[in-house]
Structure 1
């Protein structure tokens, strides 16, 4: 249903697409033209993070050198900007590299449409999923969330040495992905696909052994599939792990779910 929105190497917005939900790529005609010099690649990553908006020089310096910039930092930064423009011109990524990447008094602006970046599609599909879920169409919501997740090929900026600015943005994107994953699973549970989810949820909880929300979804999927004892085992193992590693009890929602499973057994 949403396959046309997924990551694609087909030309778009002048034939160039930027992917950050995985390695940073600059795609035109199925070929990646991203610069290979680490600092130039990191410069491009920060500019793509704010498409069409000015990025302050201080932000770029903080990202590229953290708290240890060279004495000639502005000259060095300008050299990296020159190399990025040269990459743009040599690979035909724009008619004019200087017009695509303009210099302002206090920073630089990368003149691309936000729709050229895969995060734009991710955000839009996430919103479509919310709208379907609010309307009670859980199957369509799950489809939209799944299409959003299909845009991902790995950790954001996987091929970039991330400083403080990109690291914070990467964390934000990963949290958004985690939220969409939970929403997709929730929509599928409500839509009656609980049995099909058990294997995936077991794998996810193994990879995230302290994620209470995922464990709760696994417990619900097992409970709805007539596997109440397995659901109780999931709870006991999580409770033991939380107590041993963090010294805390499961959250209120999980405790309530646990009591409901016990109550269901008592009424049978």
Structure 2
């Protein structure tokens, strides 16, 4: 099992697959919590050296044990052995190598879902800027389809992985918003009203979703409902943040009012 035959999923529970199995891809079982946390940290930095200090900070952010480096070395050894047993070879020693000051997981970034997600999202945003709305919607849907749940949902993560999880969730919401923008530009407003209502309910301070819902409702001829969405947005922002809706939301409200 070489590094290019490993696929790792972080967008949900941590999953590791051997793609080089002769019959079909096979799940590689890694059950212990700390080695899984080490692997997640290495995978989030695939093909890049992760220092011993980074691993220690992730595993023990407060008070690391006195034998901390030996413990990390043991976890790395366990991961190498797991990779080797899965492939019945010495692949573990080439997939996960020791480098000066740390370790390198030699898995292509394309084989780790967080990097595939980011690439598809970036391409989708670029297509949207070019006015290629159908292509943008397709790419953004493909990026969002990689998500199986919250990032590393089955791990107790440290500061570094928690920061990654927060960042990726923000990126996911941006991808959703952009995909909806592409759908609106493609005259699919009637199809996305229900989805937008769910998003507004789940993310009450995410103004973009309120704006898109207003647009979708207005294009469906539901002017009164669109204005109600604006009033609810205004109430939530005032109550939670002491703010007024953005200039974009206010302009849209005026456009809807003027369109009587």
* TM-score bucket (shorter structure): over 0.9
How far 1:173 sits from its partner (Å)?
1.1
How far 1:256 sits from its partner (Å)?
1.4
Q: Residues 63 and 18 (structure 1 numbering): CA distance in 2 closer, same or farther, change over 3 Å? A: same
Q: Are residue 206 (structure 1) and residue 196 (structure 2) matched?
A: no
Deviations 1:209-266, CA, capped at 9 Å, x for gaps: 121110000001011111110000111112112212222211221111111111112x
Q: Are residue 42 (structure 1) and residue 37 (structure 2) matched?
A: yes
TM-score, normalised on structure 1? 0.90
Residue in structure 2 matching 1:238, options 233, 239, 253: 233
Contact 2:121 2:175 in 1 (8 A): yes
What aligned pairs does 1:1-268 form with structure 2 within 5 A after superposition? Answer: 14-28=4-18, 29-92=24-87, 95-265=90-260
Contact 2:2 2:95 in 1 (8 A): no
Q: Residues 12 and 246 (structure 1 numbering): CA distance in 2 closer, same or farther, change over 3 Å? A: farther
Contact 1:201 1:218 in 2 (8 A): yes
Distance 1:121 1:20 in 2: 11
Q: Per the alignment, in what secondary structure is the counterpart of residue 151 of structure 2? A: coil
Q: How many residues align?
A: 255
Distance 2:185 2:33 in 1: 46
Contact 1:188 1:194 in 2 (8 A): yes
Distance 2:216 2:84 in 1: 54
Range with greater deviation from structure 2 (18-27 or 87-96): 87-96
Deviations 1:83-140, CA, capped at 9 Å, x for gaps: 1111111111874212211112311111111111112321222233133223322111
Contact 1:149 1:180 in 2 (8 A): yes
Q: Which runs of 4+ in 1 moved over 6 A?
A: none
TM-score, normalised on structure 2? 0.93
Residue matched to 1:5: none
Q: Per the alignment, in what secondary structure is the counterpart of residue 91 of structure 1? A: helix
Contact 1:122 1:151 in 2 (8 A): yes
